[in-house]
Amino acid sequence: RLVQPRGERVLLVPLLVTGLKAWHLRDECTFFPRANFWKAAEALPIGARCVSIFCEIDCREALLVCVARRRYASVDEGAAAVIAIYIRALLKLVRVRKLERLWVHAVPPVLNETRAVVLMFNAILKTHVCEAARTDRALAWLDGLDEAMLDGSGQGAQLNPQLKLDGTHMHPRCAQLLEAALERSGWPEV
């Protein structure tokens, strides 16, 4: 898929890691998605610019289960713990692949059942990414994308109707929102 932030033709090349939770990126984790993540990362060209988009499974499955099992006192506490793991892994990825820039994409709020958790998670994620970006300028939040994926705000927010596809996935039109977010987030200046 091609996007053209500020007129520059950019080919989006997805690197898929099936079943990956940010939780799997802990250093002590031996579950195969972690190894798959680092294997997929080897395909990133040294010095590349890339976008990271995951944590949906953390929001859909892990956070509520961890709170129910009393691993965390609240969903907010669990989200902060998972996000810390995610950011550490992204900063390591930046160092290992010498990435020029790594933009963090908000978790898409596609599923009605998990939208409230996703929106809360994205708010915490944005704060933590922006804080980490103060010390590592290669990391950046994709500005405005979290709002652009929504129709409405607050508890009644729904997925932007232009992005609806099959109830589980987003329509390919999401690339247009990504293009606009890259422009707002400083493409190509880094």
pLDDT tens string 67-105: 999 999 999 999 999 999 999 999 999 999 999 999 999
Please name which of 186, 75, 184, 77 lies closest in space to residue 138, comparing C-alpha atoms. 186
Amino acid at 185: S
Say what the pTM is.
0.94
Q: What is the mean pLDDT of residues 42-69?
A: 95
Predicted confidence at residue 135, as pLDDT, reads: 96
Strand 158-159 relative to strand 150-151, pairing: antiparallel
pLDDT tens string 126-184: 999 999 999 999 999 999 999 999 999 888 899 999 999 999 999 999 999 999 999 99
pLDDT at position 190 over 70: no
